């Protein structure tokens, strides 16, 4: 929290995107017993347990609530399924104005199970470390709802931006309003910070991004003030300057962006988060340590939260994850 | 050819990546009759016919030989298969030093069928327009050989760079030597220009790219001098300055890179190629025209070859493709 406010600290804080999940043996055991990802997300006690696992095992400096960005489309009336080895899939997708009309703007309790989980986690943490809430950025949620899944080319979602901008804005508006309600409820329940994941930012041209993503990120950041928001727009190297101008406290960076480039473009009034290549964690431990220290040095002493440049990959060796976390915690700025 | 040399021209030249292929009804008919993509690539008469189809139908300013970047791994001893709706797959992959030892450095005639096709096309074109040869960049070929197919995360190939850099360099060396032999044979057979496709450039960090891709691109560009080479490193916004320093005549740009950014970073001694978002071609024709003119203006009058920012998507309406080509041809600089 101090680093997000721009205050100097003795060492840098560290957490990992996807720290609650398959890297941990205790998660894999629980997941096998429960059998379904969605059940884990929708059961507050289980979601709480999963959220706390990396706090105990890795001793990271923040918890992030265990959930999924696709709970919002589901709350709006478009349910998702999680297919093994394929990822999320929407059996129905959004293709025309009638589809958009049918969607509701989800209210504060649209994702009640995650709100309940946040309350449980908050109580268990007892203010020892902050709790991070999150949601997908409207453009990324839009892309999933139109494509029905991840995609190599995202032609359906991208071409809607060119051919039916009116429809695209109508859908983005509904997503944005739902997301604001959801994140406000997360904050009321105990989230200290929220992160917006714009996973598919990098497939848009700079011009499209400024029309169809940034204004909606801005609406969300504004609505949440004074709660600190971290915007992670993967691949959006072209918009770092604009993101830094949003009313957000932090900006996540993927591993293709050098710390020096990010700081030069973003200026000094924002905290940067990231960005070790998650593939470094497949190397030998001395290499992991060396690369982590290099990354910490490259970001300079202030306004940096250590993290990977992407969610930790599920088959990453636990030893390497621990080496990363401990290297950060032992590094004095 | 003039624009690649930096000479002023009355209008800008235009061609499309993947212009020879599924956007054309005559290609789809031929493809149905032949039944297999690989047969089409490996039969010089068919490859020649497919190469010439867009020249006749779209009246583009250059032909590009119909082939695939994966002919090189096959010539080295690692055959690929083209699976319907999935793309290329390698039944066997490269995972250790013994696998690399077994690969050969392909000689000049490693891909004799494409060389034969180039000779046929060259004869048919009768020097009316230039013929573009091509190959995959070593890093991209490496990634395919290690992963066995495209990938969401490329963890196998990327982690080899961290954990076994010696092995990675050994494989990249063999690929590079094979590629130099192949491209020299293409030039001897009649290719006027060659393009290197570094399709997976954007998944590397700037540091990895400078160690595992740029030096091999440099070796190839040097070996081919004075033949003009166009380097298309998709997603490598972070290395545009370094690419501009290679002994290459042109640099391809994807649609996430603004023309102004590219020119500012690359300087004035290189020709830029690109970069309309291929999804623009799903919009109405007046919009296609407007967006194309905007792109032409943004690149300025000199050293620009009009193209899309990616291969044209197979289901793109032919009318929109023609509108794009004709808009460029009618635009006087």
Choose the closest CB to B155 out of A206, A258, A282: A282
Q: Please state, in angstroms and as integers, the Cα–Cα distance from residue A176 to each residue in A13, A145, A157, A165, B33, following that order.
A: 30, 14, 17, 16, 49
Q: Decide if B238 and A255 are in contact by the 8 Å CB cutoff.
A: no
A162 has a pLDDT exceeding 90:
yes
In Å, how far is A118's CA from the nearest CA of chain B?
A: 30
Which residues from chain A sit within 8 angstroms of residue B280, using beta carbons?
162
At B262-307, the pLDDT tens digits run 999 999 999 999 999 999 999 999 999 999 999 999 999 999 999 9
Domain count, chain B: 1
- The closest alpha carbon to A283, from B55, B103, B155, belongs to B155
Choose the closest CB to B159 out of A205, A257, A283: A283
Q: Name the DSSP letter for residue B234.
A: T
In Å, how far is B186's CA from the nearest CA of chain A?
A: 30
Q: Decide if B256 and A150 are in contact by the 8 Å CB cutoff.
A: no
DSSP run (H or E) holding A224: helix A214-224
Which of A205, A261, A319 would you mutate first to test chain B, the one with the most B CBs within 10 A?
A: A205
At A91-145, the pLDDT tens digits run 999 999 999 999 999 998 899 999 999 999 999 999 999 999 999 999 999 999 9
Which residues from chain B sit within 8 angstroms of residue A158, using beta carbons?
277, 279
How many C-beta atoms lie closer than 10 Å to residue A100's C-beta? 18
Which residues from chain B sit within 8 angstroms of residue A237, using beta carbons?
237-238, 256
Q: What is the pLDDT of residue B85?
A: 76
Q: Please state, in angstroms and as integers, the Cα–Cα distance from residue A299 to each residue in A234, A245, A306, A308, A331, following that order.
A: 18, 19, 9, 13, 13
Q: Could you identify the residue written with the tokens 């999940």?
A: A21
Q: Please state, in angstroms and as integers, the Cα–Cα distance from residue B6 to each residue in A174, B223, B228, following that order.
A: 49, 21, 11
Does B120 reside within a domain?
A: yes
In Å, how far is B26's CA from the nearest CA of chain A?
A: 23
Q: Decide if A315 and B155 are in contact by the 8 Å CB cutoff.
A: yes
At A7-41, the pLDDT tens digits run 999 999 999 999 999 999 999 999 999 999 999 99
In Å, how far is A293's CA from the nearest CA of chain B?
A: 15
At A253-271, the pLDDT tens digits run 999 999 999 999 999 999 9
A83 has a pLDDT exceeding 90:
no
Does B331 reside within a domain?
A: no
Block mean pLDDT (10 aa), chain B, length 333: 97 98 97 95 98 98 98 97 88 97 94 98 98 98 96 94 97 98 98 98 97 98 98 97 98 98 97 98 97 98 97 97 98 94
- Mean pLDDT, rounded, of chain A: 97
Give the whole-angstrom CA distance, residue B149 versus residue B160: 16
Edge-to-edge strands, sheet with B229-233: B63-64, B131-136, B193-198, B229-233, B250-252, B271-276, B304-308
- The closest alpha carbon to A204, from A161, A261, A266, belongs to A161
Does B322 reside within a domain?
A: no
Does B293 reside within a domain?
A: no
CA B218, B220, B225, B228 torsion-angle sign? negative
Cis preceding linkage at B275, omega within 30:
yes
Q: Decide if A277 and B235 are in contact by the 8 Å CB cutoff.
A: no
> Which pair of structure tokens corresponds to residue B52?
């010439």
Which residues from chain A sit within 8 angstroms of residue B315, using beta carbons?
155
> Which pair of structure tokens corresponds to residue B53?
């189809």
Does B35 reside within a domain?
A: yes
Which residues from chain A sit within 8 angstroms of residue B162, using beta carbons?
277, 279-280, 282-283, 287, 291
| Domain range for A71 | 2-330
Give the whole-angstrom CA distance, residue B252 versus residue B197: 9
Helix A25-34, helix A44-58: angle, nearest 10: 160
Choose the closest CB to A283 out of B162, B204, B237: B162
Q: Assign residue B7 the CATH number of its domain.
A: 3.20.20.210
Choose the closest CB to A162 out of B153, B161, B287: B287
In Å, how far is B188's CA from the nearest CA of chain A?
A: 36
Q: Could you identify the residue written with the tokens 């496709």?
A: B197
Average of pLDDT values for A48-69? 98
Average of pLDDT values for A302-319? 97
At A174-206, the pLDDT tens digits run 999 999 999 999 999 999 999 999 999 999 999
List residues of A whose CB lies inside 8 A of any B CB.
150, 152-153, 155, 158-159, 161-163, 202-208, 235, 237-238, 255-258, 261, 277-280, 282-284, 287, 291, 309, 313, 315
Does B282 reside within a domain?
A: no
Assign 3-class secondary structure to B159-224: HHHHHCHHHHHHHHHHHHHHHHHHHHHHHHHCCCEEEEEECCHHHCCHHHHHHHCHHHHHHHHHHH
pTM of the model: 0.96
A87 has a pLDDT exceeding 90:
no
């Amino acid at each position: 929290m101090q680093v997000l406010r721009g205050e100097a600290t003795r060492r840098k804080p560290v957490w990992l995107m996807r720290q609650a999940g398959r890297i941990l043996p205790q998660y894999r055991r629980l997941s096998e017993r429960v059998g379904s990802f969605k059940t884990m997300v929708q059961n507050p006690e289980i979601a709480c347990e999963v959220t706390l696992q990396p706090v105990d095992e890795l001793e990271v400096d923040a918890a992030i609530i265990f959930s999924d960005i696709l709970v919002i489309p589901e709350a709006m009336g478009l349910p998702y399924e999680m297919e093994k080895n394929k990822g999320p899939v929407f059996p129905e997708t959004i293709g025309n104005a009638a589809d958009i009309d049918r969607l509701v703007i989800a209210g504060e309790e649209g994702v009640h199970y995650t709100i309940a989980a946040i309350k449980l986690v908050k109580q268990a943490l007892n203010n020892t470390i902050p709790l991070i809430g999150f949601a997908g950025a409207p453009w990324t949620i839009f892309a999933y709802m139109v494509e029905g899944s991840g995609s190599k080319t995202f032609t359906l979602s991208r071409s809607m931006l060119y051919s039916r901008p009116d429809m695209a804005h109508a859908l983005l508006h509904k997503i944005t309003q739902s997301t604001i309600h959801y994140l406000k409820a997360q904050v009321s329940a105990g989230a200290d910070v929220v992160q917006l994941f714009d996973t598919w930012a990098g497939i848009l041209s700079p011009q499209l991004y400024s029309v169809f993503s940034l204004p909606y990120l801005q609406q969300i950041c504004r609505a949440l003030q004074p709660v600190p928001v971290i915007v992670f727009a993967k691949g959006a190297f072209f918009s770092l300057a604009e993101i830094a101008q949003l009313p957000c406290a932090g900006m996540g960076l993927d591993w293709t962006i050098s710390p020096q480039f990010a700081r030069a473009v973003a200026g000094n009034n924002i905290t940067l988060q990231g960005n070790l290549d998650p593939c470094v964690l497949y190397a030998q431990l001395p290499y992991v340590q060396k690369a982590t220290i290099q990354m910490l040095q490259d970001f300079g002493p202030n306004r940096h939260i250590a993290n990977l440049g992407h969610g930790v990959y599920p088959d990453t060796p636990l030893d390497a994850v621990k080496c990363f976390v401990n290297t950060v915690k032992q590094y004095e700025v």
